[in-house]
Amino acid sequence: MNQKLFLSIVSLSALGVGAFAIGSPAALLASKGAEVTPAAQVWVREVGALILAQGVTTFLMRSQAFSPALRAFLVGSGLTQAALLPIEIVAYMQGAVNKLSGIVPNSALHVVFAWGFLTLALRPVETSADRAR
């Protein structure tokens, strides 16, 4: 999959999830089987704002030429996805989240997105000599 398509898919996903988290935090928490409290709703909205911002950033980066700055963005995004992966899994194992159906889709996306970001980040830099061939 090429960079523009992958980053477009990621950005649309992040924009949707972020908007849902901001607009319906109780529904998001309930979908995971987590306790719906005022504090939890505040934190879900905060995370939603960060996800939304990441989606906008990813959308804006999707057409950029490969550069050290783009590589840094891709590495950071890949590490973010990898770091997020175990959080809900551990929460499920500890009973804080009790609907497996609420974490499996997220976990799968974290794996796919981490792999995609890091694969794009680790590709060789094309030089002018490469383009001349």
pLDDT value, residue 9: 98
- Domain contains 41: yes
- Domain contains 133: no
Q: What is the reported pTM? A: 0.88
- Domain contains 131: no
Instruction: Tally the domains of the chain.
Output: 1
- Domain contains 35: yes
- Domain contains 64: yes
Condensed to tens digits (0 to 9), the pLDDT of residues 69-127 reads: 999 999 999 999 999 999 999 999 999 999 999 899 999 999 999 999 999 999 987 66
- Domain contains 132: no
SS (H, E, C) the chain: CCHHHHHHHHHHHHHHHHHHHHHCHHHHHHHHCCCCCHHHHHHHHHHHHHHHHHHHHHHHHCCCCCCHHHHHHHHHHHHHHHHHHHHHHHHHHHCCCCCHHHCHHHHHHHHHHHHHHHHHHCCCCCCHHHHHC
Estimate to the nearest angstrom the gap between the alpha carbon of 64 and the chain centroid. 19
Residue 115 contacts residue 73 (beta carbons within 8 Å): no
pLDDT value, residue 129: 59
Residues 6+ apart with CB under 8 A from 42: 25
- Domain contains 16: yes
Give the residue from 49, 41, 61 showing the smallest Cα distance to 17.
49
Q: Name the residue range of residue 18's domain.
A: 3-125
- Domain contains 107: yes
